Amino acid sequence: MQDLIRLAIVGPPDSAAIAYEIALEKRDCLIPMVLPYEDASEVPDILKKNSNDFDMWLFSGIIPYQRALIADSNKPLFYVPHAGSSLYRALLEILYIKKLTCDSVSFDTFSEKEIVETFKDTTLPLPKIYANQYKGIVTASEVTEWHYDLWKSGKTNIAVTCFLATYNKLAELGVPVVRIWPTRCNIRTTLQLAIKSFETQRVKRSQLAVQRIVIDDYDDIIRSSSSYEAKRLELKLYEILLAYIEKLKGSISMNGGGKFTLYSTRGTLTEITENFTVMPIIEEMTRQVDVNISGGIGLGLTVYDAEENSFSALGLGKQQGKGVWMVVNDDHTVIGPLSSKVHLKYSVRTNDHALRNLADQLNISVTTINKLLATIDKLDRDDIVADDLAMYLKITVRSARRMLSNLVEKGFARVVGEELVGKGRPRRLYKINIRELLQPVQE
């Protein structure tokens, strides 16, 4: 039987209580507990103090969720979106419960488009709307001041807010105010998505991870020194790997010839490698063993799949040089090199007909296309120079220039300027037209 999910529900006492009520409907898979607050600024402290006590966190809205993000939690975080149904509820309270005149209204959190569409759907006359869809972290006092200034100046006659503290303060100041609540329907939908997502991640974390580790040039070491020296290197490396695998709660096998196999679960390996971005023992191995050590990490649902992927990862690393660590995922995406500034994530699959056609047109491999797209995404800018492309793709600068010229010729890139570095020749800046490049994939 699968362990129950310990769920923390965070929000103002009233809305958190509603979420708790809905969460009890899923008591067959959830153990919910409410952690209430009076102001969303309390969220980081709540999360920090209780992080180890829960598997998953549900926030009553995007405000506390954004606060939680800055706390850098490694647990799954979800929030109940204030969708159109929440606005309908607010309009119902304004018109039929409080019987207020809805001439000019200030809204926080929602965009003007969402508000206008809600009024159109209800066929109600559209009032004058002031919308404050802030970006990033905002305090309740700032939102309160925004609503109050509009009301005090006569620009609005009603305020609609998602903040409990703002609602209480505006009511105290005499401002006609309505609070947005998460609806039961939205809470129920969010919980279903959260549970499904968590279960998927739990299965993924329990996947097998196989690491193939080899001493590069092992035979050359034997020839240049002796088999005894090679064995000493193996024993030193074994001690390092033994401490490493102990942290992973896994097992290690010495295969001879400077080769090792490590077995563990994906979950622990993900944490130690910081989501497959670094290999924490590379520096120690370099310091103590002083030879190049390569590694291939394979992930899979079965031992066979994980082992096959580890061999593939090791082979991909060998193509890039010595001392390279790569990962091949269960979906055949490649991650790596680990502990490198040119770390990428890309696919090696070649069964996409449109991608193969594009590769044929450019006279490069599908894998190279995927690495090119991953490089552009990693650089996160509009232009690229041949030197950067060569560094990420592990090709010569000359080959990178040839590839970029080919992209220009085929209409997938254009020269947009030059970059002067030092006293050398200016480097051409290329803009790769992602939309045109991806168009064949979408057909």
Alpha-carbon distance of 209 to 424, in angstroms, equals: 47
Distances (CA, A) of 2 to 14, 202, 269, 408, 442: 31, 10, 21, 54, 40
DSSP string across 232-245: HHHHHHHHHHHHHH
Tokens of 414: 């254009």
* pLDDT in single tens digits along all 443 residues of the chain: 458 999 999 999 989 999 999 999 999 999 999 999 988 889 999 999 998 899 999 999 888 898 888 876 778 899 998 777 788 888 888 888 888 888 899 999 888 888 888 888 877 888 999 998 777 788 889 999 999 999 999 999 999 998 989 999 999 999 999 998 888 888 999 999 899 888 877 777 788 999 999 999 888 888 888 888 888 888 999 999 999 999 999 999 998 888 999 999 998 899 899 889 999 998 888 888 888 999 999 999 888 889 999 999 998 888 888 999 999 998 888 998 998 888 788 776 655 666 777 778 888 887 888 888 788 777 767 678 888 888 888 888 888 888 898 888 888 888 888 877 666 678 888 888 866 666 644 44
* Other residues' Cβ atoms within 10 Å of the Cβ of residue 146: 19
> What domains are there in the chain, each with its CATH number?
5-81+184-202 (3.40.50.2300), 84-179 (3.40.50.10660), 206-340 (3.30.70.270), 353-442 (1.10.10.10)
Q: Which 8-state DSSP code applies to residue 252?
A: E
SS3 (DSSP) at 116: helix
Full-model pTM:
0.58
Q: How far is CA 358 from CA 76, 234, 352, in A?
A: 38, 46, 10
